[in-house]
Chains A and B, each alone.
Chain A
Amino acid sequence: MNNSATQIPTDNSTYHIPEAALDLISGPQWLHKMRQTARKVFNDTPLPQRGLALWRYTNPESFLVDHNQMVGAQSCEGCNKTTEEVRQQFNDGNLAGLAIDCCGRDIEIQTGPDAEQGLVILPLSVAMDTHEKLIQKHFGQLVGSDTGKFEALNTALWHDGIFVYVPDNTTIENPVHLLRYGDGAKTTYYPRLLIVLDNNAQLTLIDEYSDGSVEHDNGYAYVNGAVEIFGAKDSRCNYIPLQQHTSSTRIYLNHRTRIEQGASTFTIPLVFGSGLSKENFGVYLDGSGAESNIYGVLFGSGHQQFDNHTLHHHRASKTLSNIDFKVVLRDRAVSAYTGLIRIDQNAVACEAYQGNRNLLLNEGTRAETIPELEILNEDVQCSHGATVGPVDPEMVFFLTARGINREEAIRMIVSGFIEGTLSHIPNNLQERISNIVQQRLEVN
């Protein structure tokens, strides 16, 4: 483990990835090549044009870092509380596995009895040796240098990440919990995750992102993460990305899932943190009968700025997708949500639904919502809907007419609003999330 704060070598162009940066990262030859390609793509690709497509609401420059000014994230002090809580859950036998990924440098992994069933959780650096074929087949297929400029950045510079594998016909009952800690000011962290579920495998995974350091004002921390999930035939994956970075962290995360015939996936984005965040949740439905649900909850306060995207790409017939993305904003928080449903010409008899509801708790918050449909055949059922507005005053009146004060009435209504989503996540987490929301509603 490298514990000195490595200054990344310099290069001419301010935001370019210096060539020598890659030399600091070890790995097999094919991976090194991939990194080199990604570096070149990143350096050669102009910034996405502001105002176009996915960049309507966020300035891409916000995610650029001057590599000369940055250090790779190293340490995580102060991340203990969550760690202890989750460790306790593991010790109590409520988790199948636990990984603590400290800045992509130091990855600690614990697995319970489920490992005997074949559950694999490893640092990617280790899995490169033990499961090289599997990794080579999947790695970079969903998020790589051809996905976009910022995905190329991650692909070039990720240090270490996590690999999770569930073999054929294996159900992992308890959730796997990943804790991914970023660092303080002027650091960069490139989380990376690869999940492979074989035929008829089943997994629930909580992917929690936060900072080891406390909130600060001496420069941003930058997190740029990539997640790839492959669900083979008839597999079932519950993926719960929970994002709790401090507001001094800027994050760019791309989560991509591909599912085959008869497979299903539940993606439950829980978006709470970061000063400026851009998160992508995308699912490719590649086999007949595949089903994807995305049930999201976002809570924003202070001056937080969120830019979320979902993608449901139906590439096979008889596939079903459903989105229910809920947003609650207070103070001066702003959120933009763009949801793209794409149904290929040869993907017939598909169903696709998309909903985005935004609760604005006070004036000064703002929510944008944009559905985008690219439906290339007629034989589909598709609908989308969005609402943006304050808490229903009639509901507030109803509760206050029973003696409940206004603030508590609003807390109850907001909790109720997200309750339906939380019922889909594991019990342990449910309570934590309700508490987070309650706290965020209370603080003035």
Chain B
Amino acid sequence: MSEPLFEFKNIHVEVEGKKVVHGVSLKINKGEVHAIMGPNGSGKSSLSNALMGHPAYKITQGEAFLDGRNLINMSADERSRAGLFLAFQYPLAIPGVTVANFMRAALQSHRGKDADMTDFRKLFTAQMKELHVDRSFATRYLNDGFSGGEKKRIEILQMSMLKPRIALLDETDSGLDIDALKQVAEGINRYHNDENGVLMVTHYQRLLNYVKPQYVHVMYKGQFVTSGGPELALKLEDRGYEWIEKKVGQEAEV
């Protein structure tokens, strides 16, 4: 078996002096789609933020590799340029910075300072069209006054432009209406190929109907407590997390 595309081992995360993730590990090979599910507050976003290099979410222990490169000592921008992408659960507004200018700066940073950008406009327009994003968004300030669904769509637009090696999608499905969910899922599927990987955090089966994971992991109180195939998501949808609680009950209680 060749080297995994993305791998993290025994990751511990601390935020505001609080330990929120306690030693999680995962391997994603090229071409794979994984999903993480788990109750509110179980540490899914903390893990994602920490992997992306958010300074407040400190990795106190553990290792992470992308294409064999050690991510731990990289800053967030280096991780991004190394091919890691995080679609945020709550994308932030940046007043005064237009979507187009932001996107151009991001792409430029990936291509290199002096790289040719003459194709930018064409690329950007094409991606906006594919994701059914109105052209007027190009000149709007990033996420400023965007609806919840619009923000998520713009996150996927960014992913489509940057073509990361691995995409962490933190609840990209939440806040999307039925049509939007489908269009966003199509966007993810267009991006996904045999060479890259997807790690989705979600609460619901409905996204997984469109973007089919090979593996589902359940996060509970800062740990991965069980993993399985797509059927695990269906079981969770059906029965909730109570059985998981019972399963890990005794250890966790004590």
Q: Is there a chain B Cβ closer than 8 Å to A46's Cβ?
A: no
Question: Contact: A420 with B102, CB < 8 Å?
Answer: no
8 Å CB contacts to B: which residues of A232-246? none
Q: Is there a chain B Cβ closer than 8 Å to A406's Cβ?
A: yes
Distance A418 CA – B95 CA, assembled complex (angstroms): 9
Number of A-B contacts (CB under 8 A): 79
Q: Is there a chain A Cβ closer than 8 Å to B248's Cβ?
A: no
Contacts of A417 in B (CB 8 A): 95-96
Choice from A397, A399, A408, A420 contacting B54 with Cβ under 8 Å = A397
Contacts of B81 in A (CB 8 A): 403
Q: Is there a chain A Cβ closer than 8 Å to B117's Cβ?
A: no
A22 to chain B minimum Cβ distance, whole angstroms, is 49
Question: Contact: A412 with B97, CB < 8 Å?
Answer: yes
Question: Contact: A400 with B80, CB < 8 Å?
Answer: yes
Q: Is there a chain B Cβ closer than 8 Å to A402's Cβ?
A: yes
Distance A394 CA – B91 CA, assembled complex (angstroms): 10
Q: Is there a chain B Cβ closer than 8 Å to A14's Cβ?
A: no
Contacts of A413 in B (CB 8 A): 94, 97
With A406-B75, A406-B77, A408-B109: A399-B94 Cβ-Cβ less than 8 Å: yes
Contacts of A401 in B (CB 8 A): 52-54, 76-77, 79-80, 86, 88
Identify the closest chain A residue to B110 (Cβ).
A403
Question: Contact: B97 with A415, CB < 8 Å?
Answer: yes
Question: Contact: A393 with B96, CB < 8 Å?
Answer: no
8 Å CB contacts to A: which residues of B66-118? 75-77, 79-81, 86, 88, 91-92, 94-97, 101-102, 105-106, 109-110
Q: 1/0 per residue B151-170: CB within 8 Å of A? A: 00000001000100000000
A115 to chain B minimum Cβ distance, whole angstroms, is 37
Q: Is there a chain A Cβ closer than 8 Å to B141's Cβ?
A: yes
A328 to chain B minimum Cβ distance, whole angstroms, is 12
Question: Contact: B109 with A412, CB < 8 Å?
Answer: no
Question: Contact: B92 with A398, CB < 8 Å?
Answer: yes
With A395-B92, A405-B109: A416-B80 Cβ-Cβ less than 8 Å: no
Choice from B52, B95, B105, B106 contacting A420 with Cβ under 8 Å = B95
8 Å CB contacts to A: which residues of B168-209? none
Contacts of A408 in B (CB 8 A): 105, 109
Contacts of A420 in B (CB 8 A): 95-96
Contacts of B52 in A (CB 8 A): 401
Distance A399 CA – B101 CA, assembled complex (angstroms): 12
Q: Is there a chain B Cβ closer than 8 Å to A126's Cβ?
A: no
Distance A417 CA – B96 CA, assembled complex (angstroms): 6
Contacts of A418 in B (CB 8 A): 96
19 cross-chain CB contacts under 8 A: A393-B55, A397-B53, A397-B54, A399-B105, A400-B76, A401-B52, A401-B53, A401-B54, A401-B86, A402-B102, A402-B106, A403-B77, A403-B109, A403-B110, A406-B77, A412-B102, A413-B94, A416-B97, A419-B141
